[in-house]
Chains A and B, each alone.
Chain A
Amino acid sequence: MKKKLKSLLGIASALVLASVALAAAPVANAAGGISINAQPVSKLKQGGTLTLPILYPPIQYNISHPDGNDADVSGMMGMTLPGFIYFDSAGKLQVDKNYASSFTQTKTSPQTLSLVLNPKAVWSDGKKISLADFVGTWKALNGKNKDYEAVSTQGYEDIASVKAGKANEIVITMSKPYPDWQALFSGLMPTSLTKDATTFNNSWREKPLLGSGPFIFESANADQTTVIWKKNPRWWGPKPLLDKVIYRAIPPSAQYAALANGEIQYMDLATDANSLKLARANSKLQVHDVPGVGTWEHIDMNSKNPILADVNVRRAITVALNRQVIAEANTGLFVKDVKVKNNRTFYEGQACHKDASGKYGKKNTALADQLLDQAGWTVHTGTGNDSTGKPKVSGMRYYSGPAKPGLVANQPMTIKFTYPTNYPNRANIATLTQAMLRAQPIGIDLQLREVPRADYFSKYVDSTLLDFELVTFAWSGSSFPIAGSMNLYAKDSEQNYAVDSVTAAMDALIKKAESELNPVKRCEYANQVEAALWNNAYNIPLYMWPGTSATTKNLANFGSFGPSSLDWTKVGFTK
Chain B
Amino acid sequence: MSKKNEASLSRRQLLRRRFFRNKSAVFGLVCLMIVVFLAVFGPSLSPWSWNLSDENGLDFNAFTESPYGGGLTAPSFDDGHYFGTSQVGADVFAQTMRGLQKSLLIGLLVAVFSTSIAAIVGASAGYLMGKTDRALMWLVDLLLVLPSFLLLAILSKWYQSSGWLLLVVLLAIFNWMITARIVRSVSMSLRERDFIRAARYMGVPTRKIITKHLIPNMASLLIIDGTLNVGGAILSETGLSYLGFGVRAPDVSLGSLIAEGTASAITFPWLFMFSGGLLIITVLAVSLIGDGLRDAFDPGSRSGKKS
Chain A residues at the B interface, C-beta cutoff of 8 Å: 253, 273-274, 277-278, 322, 325, 328-334, 421, 424, 427-428, 430-432, 434-436, 438-440, 448, 450
Residues of A within 8 A of B72 (CB): 333
Known: A273-B267, A329-B71. A439 touches B53 (CB 8 A): yes
Chain B residues with CB under 8 A of A440: 55
- Contact partner of A334 (CB less than 8 A), chosen from B63, B69, B87, B88, is B69
Given contact pairs A325-B60, A428-B87, A330 touches B263 in the complex (Cβ within 8 A): no
- A273-B87, A428-B87 are known; give 13 further A-B pairs, CB within 8 A: A273-B69, A273-B70, A274-B264, A322-B60, A329-B87, A329-B88, A330-B87, A332-B66, A333-B68, A424-B263, A431-B90, A432-B52, A435-B58
A436 contacts across to B, CB distance below 8 A: 53
Chain A residues whose CB sits within 8 angstroms of the CB of B87 once the complex forms: 273, 329-330, 333, 424, 428
**In the assembled complex, B292 has its CB within 8 A of some CB on chain A:** no
Q: Return A379 CB to nearest CB of chain B, in Å.
A: 14
| A439 and B71 contact, Cβ closer than 8 Å, known pairs A277-B268, A278-B266, A450-B244 | no
Q: A277-B267, A278-B267, A329-B87 are in contact. Are A435 and B70 (CB under 8 A)?
A: no
- By a CB distance below 8 angstroms, the chain A residues around B88 are 325, 329, 428, 431-432, 435
Q: Does B226 contact A (CB under 8 A)?
A: no
**CB of B248 closer than 8 Å to a CB of A:** yes
Write the nearest CB–CB distance from B228 to chain A, whole angstroms: 33
Asked if A421 contacts B263 (CB within 8 A), the reply is: no
Contacts of B268 in A (CB 8 A): 274, 277
Within the assembled complex, what's the spacing in Å between the Cα atoms of A322 and B68? 20
The CA-CA distance from A428 to B69 in the complex, in Å, is 14
Within 8 A of A (CB), among B52-97: 52-55, 57-58, 60, 63, 66, 68-72, 87-90
Looking at the assembled complex, report how far the CB atom of A337 sits from the nearest CB atom of chain B, in whole angstroms: 11
Judged by a CB distance under 8 angstroms, whether B1 is at the interface is no
Find chain B residues with CB under 8 A from A253 CB: 263
Q: Which residues of B contact A328 (CB under 8 A)?
A: 63, 69-71
Across-interface contacts of B89 in A (CB, < 8 A): 325, 329
User: In whole angstroms, what is the CA distance A329 to B72 when docked?
Assistant: 8
State the Cβ distance, A60 to closest chain B Cβ, in Å: 31
Chain B 99-122, CB-CB to A under 8 Å as 1, else 0, gives 000000000000000000000000
Closest B residue by C-beta to A428? B88
- Measured between beta carbons, the chain A residues less than 8 angstroms from B7 are none
Q: Which residues of B contact A439 (CB under 8 A)?
A: 53-55
What residue of chain A has the Cβ atom nearest to residue B52's Cβ?
A435
| Of listed B55, B70, B264, residue having the most chain A CB within 10 A | B70
Given contact pairs A273-B87, A448-B249, A329 touches B68 in the complex (Cβ within 8 A): no
Please give the distance in Å from B8's CB to the nearest CB on chain A: 59
Q: Is B250 an interface residue (CB 8 A)?
A: yes
Measured in the bound complex, the distance between the Cα atoms of B57 and A440 in whole Å is 12
Give the interface SS of chain B, mostly helix, strand, loop or mixed: loop
Bound Cα distance A505, B100 (Å):
55
Whether the Cβ atoms of B57 and A435 lie closer than 8 Å is yes
For A329, give its contact among B54, B70, B264, B266 (CB under 8 Å).
Answer: B70
14 contacts between A and B (CB under 8 A): A273-B87, A273-B264, A274-B266, A325-B60, A325-B89, A328-B70, A329-B87, A329-B88, A330-B70, A333-B87, A424-B260, A427-B260, A431-B250, A434-B52
Top 10 A-B pairs ranked by shortest CB distance?
Answer: A435-B52, A333-B69, A332-B69, A438-B53, A332-B70, A277-B267, A328-B63, A274-B267, A329-B88, A435-B53
Complex Cα–Cα for A253 and B72 (A): 20
**Which A residues are CB-close (under 8 A) to B52?**
431-432, 434-435
With a cutoff of 8 Å between Cβ atoms, the chain B residues found around residue A427 in the complex are 260
CB distance from A448 to the nearest CB of B (A): 5
Quick one: closest A residue to B161, CB to CB?
A447
Q: What distance in Å separates the Cβ of B273 from its nearest Cβ neighbour in chain A?
A: 15
CA distance A328 to B62 in the complex (A): 10
For the complex, what is the distance from the CA of A432 to the CA of B55, rounded to whole Å? Answer: 13
Contacts of B266 in A (CB 8 A): 274, 278
Q: CB-CB < 8 A to B264: which residues of A?
A: 273-274
Contacts of B267 in A (CB 8 A): 273-274, 277-278
Given the complex of chains A and B, what is the CA–CA distance between A431 and B70 in angstroms?
A: 14
Q: B63 — which chain A residues lie within 8 A by C-beta?
A: 325, 328-329, 332
Alpha-carbon separation in the docked complex, A444 to B71 (Å): 24
Q: How many Å lie between the Cα of A187 and that of B69 in the bound state?
A: 40
Residues of A within 8 A of B248 (CB): 448
Q: Which residue of A lies closest to B58 (CB)?
A: A435
Q: In the bound complex, what is the Cα–Cα distance between A322 and B53 (angstroms)?
A: 13
Shortest B156–chain A CB gap in Å is 11
Known: A273-B267, A328-B63. Contact between A431 and B249, CB under 8 A?
Answer: yes
The CA of A424 and the CA of B261, in the complex, are separated in Å by 10
B14 smallest CB distance to A (angstroms) = 52
A332 to B62, CA, bound (A): 11
Minimum CB–CB distance from A452 to chain B (whole Å) comes to 10
Complex-state Cα separation, A334 to B60, whole angstroms: 18
What is the minimal beta-carbon distance from B242 to any residue of chain A, in angstroms? 12
CB distance from A279 to the nearest CB of B (A): 10
Min CB gap B251→A, angstroms: 11
CA of A511 to CA of B60 in the docked complex: distance in angstroms? 42
**Shortest Cβ distance from B136 into chain A, in angstroms?**
38
Q: How far is the CA of A244 from the CA of B244 in the complex (A)?
A: 41
Contact partner of B68 among A277, A424, A434, A448, CB < 8 A? A277
Residues of B near A332 (CB, < 8 A) are 63, 66, 69-71
Cβ of A325: which chain B residues have Cβ within 8 Å of it?
58, 60, 63, 71, 88-89
* Most A-side CB within 10 Å, residue of B53, B66, B71: B53
Quote the shortest CB–CB distance from A362 to chain B (angstroms): 15
Q: Measured between alpha carbons, how far is A328 from B72 in the docked complex, in Å?
A: 10
How long is the Cα–Cα vector from A329 to B264 in the complex, in angstroms?
A: 15
The docked-state distance in angstroms from the alpha carbon of A328 to that of B88 is: 8
Residue in B60, B70, B249 whose beta carbon sits within 8 Å of that of A333 in the complex = B70
Chain A residues with Cβ below 8 Å from B66 are 332
**What is the distance, in angstroms, from A505's C-beta to the closest C-beta of chain B?**
38
Chain B, residues 249-269, CB within 8 Å of chain A (1/0): the string is 110000000001001101110
Within 8 A of A (CB), among B35-60: 52-55, 57-58, 60
Please, how many angstroms separate the alpha-carbon atoms of A274 and B68 in the complex? 11
As a 0/1 sequence over residues 5 to 31 of chain B, the CB contacts with chain A under 8 angstroms (1 = contact) are 000000000000000000000000000
Decide if B250 touches A434 in the complex (CB within 8 Å): yes
| Interface members, chain B 112-171 (any A CB < 8 Å) | none
Q: Which residues of the partner chain A approach B57 to less than 8 Å between Cβ atoms?
A: 435
Whole-angstrom distance between the alpha carbons of A150 and B249 in the complex?
41
Residues of A contacting B54 in the complex (Cβ-Cβ under 8 angstroms): 439
B255 to chain A, nearest CB (A): 14
Closest A-chain residue to B87, C-beta based? A329
Query: Whole-angstrom distance between the alpha carbons of A427 and B260 in the complex?
Result: 10
Q: What residues of chain B lie closer than 8 Å to A424, measured between beta carbons? A: 87, 260, 263
Q: Given the complex of chains A and B, what is the CA–CA distance between A427 and B57 in angstroms?
A: 17
Residue numbers in B under 8 Å from A448 (CB-CB): 248-250
Q: Which of B66, B263, B266 has the most CB of A within 10 A?
A: B263
Query: What residue in chain A is nearest B250 (Cβ atoms)?
Result: A434
Q: Which residue of B lies closest to A336 (CB)?
A: B69
A450 to B241, CA, bound (A): 13
Report A14 CB to chain B, min CB distance, Å: 28
A274 CA to B88 CA in the complex, in Å? 14
CA of A289 to CA of B297, assembled, Å: 65
Contact with A along B266-282 (1 / 0, CB 8 A): 11100000000000000
Bound: A344/B68 CA distance, A: 28
